[in-house]
Structure 1
Amino acid sequence: MAGGNSQADIVFEFVEACESFKSVDEVLSALRTRADDLGFAHFIVTGLPLPNRPLEPLVLLNSWPAGWFDRYISRDYFRVDPIGQQALATSTPFKWGHAAERGERVSARTMMGEAVEFGLTDGFCVPIYTATGWQSAISFASPHRLDMGPRDLAAAHLLAITAHGRLRVLLGEERLIRQRLTPREREVLTWAAAGKSAWETSCILSISEATVITHLDNVRRKLNVANTTQAVAVALQTGELQPY
């Protein structure tokens, strides 16, 4: 631990400084330093995808080993990852080991074994729910088995929710500047992201199915994509839809 500071000192220094951060890069740099002080070599800040939706557009900050992140995305490991699936099911922070015990499938055990090869042996995950209904999480990783008591884990929890809160503010400011879709178009696309058909969305919003289809056509044109699935991915990447 740097400078002999306590966990509380480390986190409260971050909390005090966080309001002054003016960019996502500043948050990333400070979070990386403080996570390292707590014994975590890597972390990821990400939204949690709806069923059959990709994870990559939802990733906000990522200090995962590059090779591992590329493999995780290309093999769609979130689908079998016991950590990610546990984050979807709870609002309580948890050690990776608690979720890994439930990863009984061969594919889950294989994935966790590969993660260890990249230095992701153990970790601590903080699920985060917001008023918008989006789920997200910050997951910290260590190359060693965790030996952290309640105070250490509480410090990591506070670090995570403080960083996430600042990111929401910073990204919200950026998104207000660059939004291209109308509020109704974003609303229609949000329901499409949730897997609703044009007819189902029309019933939910009390508008005609033809109007929903027109809105989706406009969304695809504005985002310069060929289909609605691509539109959802681009909208998440550019901030038209919020992954939290």
Structure 2
Amino acid sequence: MVNRHLEVLEFASHINRYPDLKSLTADFSQLMSQFGLTSFIFTGLPSAGYDVAPLIVCDHWPEGWTDRYRDQNYFAEDPVGRWSITKRRPFRWQDAQKATTPTPIRRQIAGEAWEHGLADGIAYPLHGETSAVVSLASESNLSIDASDEASIFLAVSYYKSAAEDIERLSRKHDKPALTYRDIEHLKWMAAGKTAWETSCILSISESAVKVHRATVRRKLGVATTTQAIAVSVQRGIIPL
């Protein structure tokens, strides 16, 4: 047991050695496997009704699970997903599930997760300038103690910070050339304002707002307002 805690400290103390997300994630994955955590996801947390996909930084779930989860819009009903938004401390999946009224769809989510090798897990919500979660899973009932949870939290925190730094550097040269006005429109879009409401706020015509929104979507390479907001949050252009 002591060895894996020391390895977490080793991982944290050499976090700046990783040149890319692939090598960082490989070592993090190997480290987590020593705690019985065989898969995980690191993702930003979407606002209600938004797709989580553009916010995913690293998807290390079993093959097929993420697509199934998204296709069925499970996030809206998943107790673990909902707790990730509201909680400020790490929590066990089973605590979220027990505290939520069971419904057929929630039982279906838990059953299908089990079939994909996600029997039990622990989630680490990370709230700051942006909100994210690193959720880790075990193929069987999870057996970790308080010292394990603390070590995992340390590794998760360093992993998140390093992954974000790597992603930020990789996007530095391909970030779209958005103007101050573009970002202003994005912020009002993210706030849920309609084109008409934005026109009143900015004292311009509604048609001008629509044209500007179309320009922003083109610059970001997306087709919808929802996608524009998600991509902008993921790239750090606007806060969540």
| SS of the residue 2:141 aligns to | coil
Please say if residues 46 and 59 of structure 1, whose CA atoms lie closer than 8 Å, have aligned partners that are also in contact: yes
Please say if residues 134 and 156 of structure 2, whose CA atoms lie closer than 8 Å, have aligned partners that are also in contact: yes
Q: What's 1:155 paired with?
A: 151
| SS of the residue 2:19 aligns to | coil
Q: Is the aligned partner of 1:140 residue 2:103?
A: no
Q: What's 2:110 paired with?
A: 112
Counterparts of 1:73-112 in structure 2 under 5 Å? 73-104=70-101, 105-112=103-110
State how far apart, in whole Å, the 2-side matches of 1:147 and 1:53 are: 34
Q: Go from structure 1 to structure 2 and tell me whether the alpha carbon gap of 1:200 and 1:33 turns closer, same or farther (over 3 Å shift).
A: farther
Please say if residues 35 and 144 of structure 2, whose CA atoms lie closer than 8 Å, have aligned partners that are also in contact: no
State how far apart, in whole Å, the 2-side matches of 1:111 and 1:243 are: 30
Please say if residues 45 and 61 of structure 1, whose CA atoms lie closer than 8 Å, have aligned partners that are also in contact: yes
Residue-by-residue CA offset, 1:177-214 (whole Å, 9 max, x unaligned): 211122432342243234232344456xx523436444
Q: What's 2:64 paired with?
A: 67
1:169 deviation in Å? 1.4
1:62 deviation in Å? 0.9
Q: What's 1:169 paired with?
A: 165
State how far apart, in whole Å, the 1-side matches of 2:82 and 2:91 are: 12
State how far apart, in whole Å, the 1-side matches of 2:32 and 2:105 are: 29
Q: What's 1:32 paired with?
A: 29
1:147 deviation in Å? 1.6
- Matched letter for residue 195 of structure 1: G
- Matched letter for residue 177 of structure 1: H
Instruction: State which of 208, 218, 222 in structure 2 corresponds to 1:221.
Output: 218
State how far apart, in whole Å, the 1-side matches of 2:76 and 2:204 are: 32
The alignment of Structure 1 onto Structure 2 pairs a total of residues equal to 236
State how far apart, in whole Å, the 2-side matches of 1:93 and 1:46 are: 15
Q: Go from structure 1 to structure 2 and tell me whether the alpha carbon gap of 1:99 and 1:24 turns closer, same or farther (over 3 Å shift).
A: same
Instruction: State which of 5, 8, 26 in structure 2 corresponds to 1:8.
Output: 5
- Matched letter for residue 9 of structure 1: L
| SS of the residue 2:186 aligns to | helix
Q: What's 2:126 paired with?
A: 128
Of residues 167-176 and 41-50 in structure 1, the stretch that sits farther from structure 2 once superposed is 167-176
- Aligned-residue identity in percent: 34
| SS of the residue 2:144 aligns to | coil
1:243 deviation in Å? 7.3
State how far apart, in whole Å, the 2-side matches of 1:220 and 1:100 are: 38
Residue-by-residue CA offset, 1:68-127 (whole Å, 9 max, x unaligned): 111111111111110010010111110111101123222112101110111101111000
RMSD across aligned C-alpha pairs, in angstroms? 2.2
Please say if residues 93 and 126 of structure 1, whose CA atoms lie closer than 8 Å, have aligned partners that are also in contact: yes
Please say if residues 55 and 231 of structure 2, whose CA atoms lie closer than 8 Å, have aligned partners that are also in contact: no
Of residues 138-147 and 16-25 in structure 1, the stretch that sits farther from structure 2 once superposed is 16-25
1:240 deviation in Å? 6.0
**TM-score scaled by length of structure 2:** 0.88
Please say if residues 44 and 132 of structure 2, whose CA atoms lie closer than 8 Å, have aligned partners that are also in contact: yes
